[in-house]
Amino acid sequence: MTPQSVIFFDIDGTLLDHDKKLPHSTKEAIFKLKENGHIVGIATGRAPFMYEDLRKELDIHTFISYNGQYVVLDGEVIYTNSLNHSSIEKLTEAAMHNNHPIVYMDHEDMKANVPEHSYIDESIATLNINRFPTHDPSYYKGRELYQSLLFCLEGEEGQYEQAFDDFDFIRWHPVSVDVLPKGGSKAKGIEKIVEKLGIPEDHQYAFGDGLNDIEMLSTVKNSVAMGNGKDRVKEVAKYVTRSVEDDGIVHGLQMVGLL
């Protein structure tokens, strides 16, 4: 009998193709892994409410949201890491001065500090989800936020990186960056889960393609970068599979001996 392993998958560009569709071969592979007794988890920068349908379709109940800030094991929240309240208030003030909108995000919803903005519309639309942030400029007050989105052009985030040393700024779109607690990552979220499961590192796997996957793929022993991934991501991974559209998940699982 094959020893039980745990396999974590990023969503965008890994489970989902560039049209935000789940390839049939990927869905079959996920269910085959579970049939074989393995644990399948998701590790994403998305909020939990942004991929409920995907979790239901794949029957997955273990997941890491917000790049490691909200961690759920078999339906139970086991770890959270929220943004510093006073720092998010100061960031809001600085961003407003620069006409850079912010979206505040907790585990249930997301709210923008401006009524509307083209950068928000442009970037959120690429996620192909059925909701957009509504307007509530005070949403950050008295609430645990696990991530915020700062909307600015490439290079403009540098001023915030210098001013806020308790945040990490990770670009995910030409007009938007994730704002995370300093040092928070998918790798930290995986660490919390495998501690609970007691699965040794030889039986831990992770698949990803984006810049927010670098720490995960450089930490998890059996890491697989998608063929469509960034060059920096491929450099840190142990394996490189085909692109997501070219049955990359199936090929990668075969490469590492799980299928």
**b/e per residue, 160-173, with b = 16+ CB within 10 A?**
beeebeebbbbbbb
Burial class, 176, CB count within 10 angstroms (exposed 0-12 / middle 13-18 / buried 19+): buried
Q: From the candidates 10, 106, 168, 209, which is the catalytic residue? A: 10
Q: Which element (helix H / strand E) includes 90?
A: helix 85-97
**Distance between CA 164 and CA 177 in Å, rounded?**
14
How far is the CA of 112 from the CAs of 99, 101, 136, 138, 236, in angstroms? 13, 7, 6, 9, 35
**b/e per residue, 220-252, with b = 16+ CB within 10 A?**
bebbbbbbbbbeebbebbbbbbbbbeebbbbbb
Token pair recorded at residue 66:
């917000």
Which residues does 183 contact at the CB level (< 8 Å), separation at least 6?
168
**Distance between CA 59 and CA 82 in Å, rounded?**
27
Sheet holding 102-105, edge to edge: 134-135, 110-112, 102-105, 147-151, 176-181, 167-173
Residue 106 bears catalytic tag: no
**Distance between CA 210 and CA 229 in Å, rounded?**
6
Catalytic residue annotation: 10
